Amino acid sequence: MTEIERHAVDVVVIGAGGAGLRAAIEARARGMRTAVVCKSLFGKAHTVMAEGGIAAAMGNVNPHDNWQVHFRDTMRGGKFLNNWRMAELHAQEAPDRVWELETYGALFDRTEDGRISQRNFGGHEYPRLAHVGDRTGLELIRSLQQQVVALQQADFREFGDYEAGLRVFAECTVTDVLLDGGRVAGAFGYWRESGRFVLFEAPAVVLATGGIGKSFKVTSNSWEYTGDGHALALRSGARLINMEFVQFHPTGMVWPPSVKGILVTESVRGDGGVLRNAEGRRFMFDYIPEVFKEKYADNEAEADRWYTDPDHNRRPPELLPRDEVARAINAEVKAGRGSPHGGVFLDVSSRLPAAEIIRRLPSMHHQFRELADVDITREPMEVGPTCHYVMGGVEVDPDTAGSRVPGLFAAGEVAGGMHGSNRLGGNSLSDLLVFGRRAGLGAAAYVTSLGQDKPVVAMADVDQARQRALAPFGGSPADGPPENPYTLHVELQQVMNDLVGIIRRSDEMELAVKKLDELKRRARNVVVEGHRQYNPGWHLALDLGNMLLVSECVARAALERTESRGGHTRDDFPQMDPEWRRALLACELARGPAGAEAEVRVSRHVQPPLRPDLLALFDLAELQKYFLDDELTDHPRWQLRERA
């Protein structure tokens, strides 16, 4: 066995997006020697693409806002399937996390009185999203990146070494989490540039790897989103929950083909943009679901008044939660009322003066002008749903972000539970900071609690990881023709898009499971050319295994849930079913009989019941639309309710 590059640290954070960097900052602040590993260059993680803003009930624009209102909106958006404790911590701590960014040097847009400005967004009762034009993610990641640098400078002053306490391993991919008797012992990966392997010896690993969108054909997500963290968690013995819930953002670009899926931020609607069909009708008025009738205007006049007088008018239905808007657009297109390239029209040009559009939505203006020859100050955009976010992820303890595998933590998009069946816009960036910090704390506390009892990496496991990584160079496969990773990836994306997409049916999903099985078999025969130095074909071959595993979880969980809720819509079960509200579907890898490959198993569990004081934040009548009677007996008004 050849020598391998080794790094012994206390905490390895996999991912340098908002969640990973915030976790690393916290772990380092607790005295942990910390490594951050990421597939891209430092400062380019997917978080950089976030546009609209970060949700935090600071009450800068509307003083009625507070964490309870934010909590309520989050639970409603998730159709009450959210892990309530996560939603509670998130709503309570988000303002502190945003203010903290200012101490790192962030510069948000300001209100008249010099505070952080907040904008309207779908599902949020008050203007709540702190933002910087429509490039909030860039501000977030740059501020965290610069704080990492600040900490490194402090280490340099103290130890003469920038990387004494916190080191970033950029363009490095982790392919395995290594265990010792069921506890985390380290991580194994390769440098993308050289193809050389690297071993991290560490008792704690924080997964902050983001999402899974690259398994779908039309997506707003980048190549990084191959579900690596989800797959690493499964293979280490952790469980994934809520995997059937995938968010399709209602507004992605639909034309030209090469940019199909690229996001059009929800701020366009928050700032006054409206959706119209080919007949020019603001069709969202036709799609207000029963449960939201009290909060959303049923006529244009009231909806338009809301922008200037939100206290006395109901909000425009364009700002319904994303799942509702995405389904409505889908239905309009299906009914033949779509735009020329198969979307609908999103118009802000007739709603705001050109200069105002350019000031508020600079990157949208730029994006459409550069990529589609459309001037959004003069003409409407064409938009349609695009795969955007996965609600499902690693099951974690809300307070510590720890999974059921000792030493394995998860935060950000890769973690599950916080958003229930549907995430509200702006609630991800805040989630990254709140739970990124908690994961850093959790990992530090865990490492401290170990004392001298540190797990040890077994060299046999390292060898195995190495063999797994090198398999695609293996030459001609024994049982079939050699496969090209790019071809398999395209086929996978088509399967997920067509069969487990925005509207689902049992026969299609069964077919998907079968096709995924077949793709899995073929993926074993993937052969790549060339050598290990910066070889994208090889990288994709390794990512493909993760995408297949995670796609199988999505398909199997979706098949199991026989209702429609949030990011899971079934043609054959169109109603929401209160029985299913308290059911959590968990995916895990179950070892088959000796020799056979491990397979994905889905099991059903009971949601932890909502704490009574949190139940009391809602009207009983509203809760009765979602909950079964026996779950509501702790509500303060239960005894006083009108009996039917």
Partner 1 sequence: MGYQAHFRVWRGDADAGELRDYQVEVNEGEVVLDVIHRLQATQCPDLAVRWNCKAGKCGSCSAEINGRPRLMCMTRMSVFTEDETVTVTPMRSFPVVRDLVTDVSYNYEKAREIPSFRPPAGLAPGEYRMRQVDVNRSQEFRKCIECFLCQNTCHVIRDHDDNKLSFSGPRYLMRIAELEMHPLDSHGDTGGDRRELAQAEHGLGFCNITKCCTEVCPEHIKITDNALIPLKERVVDRRYDPLFGLFRRRGDRT
Ligand X SMILES: Cc1cc2nc3c(=O)[nH]c(=O)nc-3n(C[C@H](O)[C@H](O)[C@H](O)COP(=O)(O)OP(=O)(O)OC[C@H]3O[C@@H](n4cnc5c(N)ncnc54)[C@H](O)[C@@H]3O)c2cc1C
Catalytic positions, written as ranges: 249, 269
Q: Taking CB under 6 A as the rule, does residue 50 contact ligand X? A: yes
Q: How far is the CB of 633 from partner 1 (least distance, A)?
A: 39
Q: Taking CB under 6 A as the rule, does residue 251 contact ligand X? A: no
Number of neighbouring beta carbons within 10 Å of residue 604: 12
Residue 307 falls in which region: left (phi positive, over 0), alpha (psi -120 to 50) or beta: alpha
Q: How far is the CB of 269 from ligand X (least distance, A)?
A: 12
List 39, 230, 515, 570, residue binding ligand X (CB under 6 A):
39
Q: Helix/strand/coil (H, E, C) string of 390-446?
A: ECCEECCCCCCCECCCCCEEECHHHECCCCCCCCCCCHHHHHHHHHHHHHHHHHHHH
Q: Which helix (H) or strand (E) holds 589?
A: strand 583-590
By three-state DSSP, how is residue 275 classified?
A: strand
By three-state DSSP, how is residue 630 classified?
A: helix
Give 102 or 510: the residue with its C-beta nearer to partner 1. 102
Cβ proximity of 407 and 10 under 8 Å: no
Give 17 or 203: the residue with its C-beta nearer to partner 1. 17
List 33, 142, 217, 249, residue binding partner 1 (CB under 8 A):
142
Q: How far is the CB of 542 from ligand X (least distance, A)?
A: 9
Give 39 or 79: the residue with its C-beta nearer to partner 1. 39
By three-state DSSP, how is residue 38 classified?
A: strand
Q: Which stretch binds ligand X (CB under 6 A): 56-64, 218-226, 570-578, 594-602?
A: 218-226
Q: Taking CB under 8 A as the rule, does residue 371 contact partner 1? A: yes
Q: Report the candidate in 499, 406, 468 with the shortest Cα–Cα distance to residue 205.
A: 406
Q: Taking CB under 8 A as the rule, does residue 372 contact partner 1? A: yes
Q: Taking CB under 6 A as the rule, does residue 552 contact ligand X? A: no
**In sequence order, which ranges of 458-535 are alpha helices (DSSP H)?**
459-470, 485-499, 506-523
The two structure tokens encoding residue 333: 């297109």
Task: Give dist(CA 567, CA 588) in Å, integer.
Answer: 21
460, with CB counted inside 10 A (0-12, 13-18, 19+), is: exposed
Q: What is the number of alpha carbons within 13 Å of residue 82 lying toward its C-beta?
A: 28
Site for partner 1, residues 263 to 302, rule: CB under 8 A: 263
Site for ligand X, residues 431 to 470, rule: CB under 6 A: 432
DSSP 194-248: T--EEEEE-SEEEE-----GGGSSSBS--TT-S-HHHHHHHHHT--EE-TT-EEE
- Per-residue contact flags (x/-) with partner 1 for residues 426 to 445, judged by CB under 8 A: --------------------
Task: Give dist(CA 565, CA 581) in Å, integer.
Answer: 9
Q: Taking CB under 6 A as the rule, does residue 270 contact ligand X? A: no
Q: Taking CB under 6 A as the rule, does residue 37 contact ligand X? A: yes
Q: Which stretch binds ligand X (CB under 6 A): 81-89, 217-225, 336-344, 589-597?
A: 217-225
Q: How far is the CB of 193 from partner 1 (least distance, A)?
A: 6
Q: How far is the CB of 10 from ligand X (least distance, A)?
A: 18
Site for partner 1, residues 502 to 541, rule: CB under 8 A: 528-531, 533-538
Amino acid (one-letter) located at 53: G
List 139, 244, 266, 631, residue binding partner 1 (CB under 8 A):
139
List 95, 123, 133, 426, residue binding ligand X (CB under 6 A):
426
Give pairs for 143-146: CB < 8 Å, separation 24+.
Answer: 143/101, 143/104, 143/105, 143/106, 144/18, 144/21, 144/22, 144/25, 144/101, 144/104, 145/21, 145/42, 145/43, 146/104, 146/105
Cβ proximity of 15 and 414 under 8 Å: yes
Q: Taking CB under 6 A as the rule, does residue 221 contact ligand X? A: yes
Amino acid (one-letter) located at 548: L
Q: Taking CB under 8 A as the rule, does residue 152 contact partner 1? A: yes
Q: Taking CB under 8 A as the rule, does residue 114 contact partner 1? A: yes
Q: Taking CB under 6 A as the rule, does residue 247 contact ligand X? A: no
Q: How far is the CB of 490 from partner 1 (least distance, A)?
A: 8
Site for partner 1, residues 30 to 59, rule: CB under 8 A: 40-44, 46, 48-49, 58
Q: Which helix (H) or strand (E) holds 556?
A: helix 536-560
Q: Taking CB within 5 to 8 Å according to partner kind, which of ligand X, partner 1, none is near residue 52?
A: ligand X
- Per-residue contact flags (x/-) with ligand X for residues 224 to 243, judged by CB under 6 A: x---xx--------------
Amino acid (one-letter) located at 99: W
Give 82 or 367: the residue with its C-beta nearer to partner 1. 367
Task: Give dist(CA 251, CA 131) in Å, integer.
Answer: 19
List 429, 457, 523, 586, residue binding ligand X (CB under 6 A):
429
Give 107 or 590: the residue with its C-beta nearer to partner 1. 107
Task: Give dist(CA 323, CA 424) in Å, integer.
Answer: 10
Q: Taking CB under 8 A as the rule, does residue 172 contact partner 1? A: no
Q: Taking CB under 6 A as the rule, does residue 361 contact ligand X? A: no
- Per-residue contact flags (x/-) with ligand X for residues 577 to 616, judged by CB under 6 A: ----------------------------------------
Q: Taking CB under 6 A as the rule, does residue 382 contact ligand X? A: no
Number of neighbouring beta carbons within 10 Å of residue 617: 14
List 161, 294, 298, 370, residue binding partner 1 (CB under 8 A):
370
Give 230 or 315: the residue with its C-beta nearer to ligand X. 230
Q: Report the candidate in 554, 561, 481 with the shortest Cα–Cα distance to residue 521.
A: 481
Give 234 or 526: the residue with its C-beta nearer to partner 1. 526
Q: Taking CB under 6 A as the rule, does residue 389 contact ligand X? A: yes
Task: Give dist(CA 398, CA 546) in Å, integer.
Answer: 25
Binding residues vs ligand X (CB under 6 A): 14-20, 37-40, 45-47, 49-54, 136-137, 173-174, 208-210, 220-221, 224, 228-229, 263, 389, 412-414, 425-429, 432
Binding residues vs partner 1 (CB under 8 A): 40-44, 46, 48-49, 58, 95-96, 99-100, 102-105, 107, 109-110, 113-115, 132-133, 135, 137-139, 142, 146-147, 149-150, 152-153, 156, 162, 193, 222-224, 255-259, 262-263, 363, 366-367, 370-372, 484-486, 528-531, 533-538
